[in-house]
Amino acid sequence: MLNKVVIGNQKMNMTATQTRKFLNAFVPEVEHINCRVGICVPYTSLAICKRALKDTNVMFGAQNVSEFERGAYTGEVSSEMLADIGCKLTLVGHSERRKLFSEHNSQINNKIKQNLRYNITSILCIGESKRERTQGLTQNVICKQLDECLSGLYENELENIIVAYEPVWAIGTGQTATSKQIEEAVSFIREEIARLYTDKASKNIIVLYGGSVKPDNAKNFINIKNLNGFLVGGVSLDAKAFSELIQIYSGKSNKKK
Ligand code: PGA
């Protein structure tokens, strides 16, 4: 398995028609790249992704999933439905969902468990708010989120979990965490995984950083110890900028441009 991973989170942007156009421009730029690439799109764009990304190296996923298996949950979309359409990834616990839709750790834990039943990788987003960082609570927040969101999971199931460290204050703000802050958080996440599971699990789990990552600042993050890549919001809407970021990170220079 390749160690470098970059995932786009396109949020509530892009109609299916716009997604098709985006993929036409994006996919040729990231083919044969030394990096696992994925995009998390609105539900309405999943069918387009399934068709357009068949036989490519680009994975696609949803941005949310129901914590329930099936039944009278109007408006929800289940892991089984996502798996049936070929979806291999979903975000879970993004800070916008925690803040705007009051999602809490036990629901996120249920979502992960649903995904596991259908072999879908959960990209578990965790991270502190500005106030929590100022109060010195970053590690407490990370510890609680990991503990509660991974509760009841077996070590072998961590193969289907990617952890995305996304300090809330860096998301969509243009204010990135420093390399030192990211490195500290990533090591702490790995320490926690070692405490909850084993050293082997801690070494193997994929950990990403997210929060205002752009082609201009990606270079600053390339050498962060034990970081596997990025979860990218705003920039993932621009095929040129997103592919450039991936090329920079994967070490393939973009000579054509
Ligand atoms: P951003 O978003 O790159 O626009 O800061 C990251 C995210 O929300 O995952």
153-199, pLDDT tens digit by residue?
999 999 999 999 999 999 989 888 999 999 999 999 999 999 999 99
Measure CA 162 to chain center.
Answer: 7
Give the pLDDT score at 251: 86
**DSSP structure class, residue 235:** G
Looking from the CA of residue 96, the nearest atom of ligand 1 is: 8
- Mean pLDDT on 40-59: 96
Looking from the CA of residue 213, the nearest atom of ligand 1 is: 3
- Domain spans in the chain, listed from the N-terminal domain onward: 5-250
**Whole-angstrom distance, CA of residue 250 vs CA of residue 84:** 31
**DSSP structure class, residue 71:** S
Give the pLDDT score at 256: 46
168 CB near ligand 1 (under 6 Å)? no
- Mean pLDDT on 109-117: 98
pLDDT mean across residues, the chain? 95
Give the pLDDT score at 255: 45
91 beta partners: 123
Question: Any idea which residue has 């879908």 for tokens?
Answer: 120
- Mean pLDDT on 225-252: 95
Band (pLDDT 50/70/90 cuts) for residue 32 is: confident
Structure tokens at 73: 């949950």
pTM exceeds cut of 0.85: yes
- Mean pLDDT on 219-232: 94
- Mean pLDDT on 96-113: 97
- The per-residue b/e assignment along 9-37, b for 16 or more CB within 10 angstroms, e otherwise, is bbbebbeeeebeebbeebbebbeebebbb
Q: So what's the architecture of 5-250 in CATH?
A: Alpha-Beta Barrel (3.20)
Band (pLDDT 50/70/90 cuts) for residue 79 is: very high
Catalytic residue flag (residue 104): no
Compute φ and ψ for 253, nearest 5 degrees: -75, 155
**Atom 6 of ligand 1 has which residue's CA nearest to it?**
233
63 CB near ligand 1 (under 6 Å)? no
Give the pLDDT score at 253: 53
**Lowest-confidence segment of 61-70, 106-115, 122-131, 246-255 by average pLDDT:** 246-255
Structure tokens at 64: 């949310």
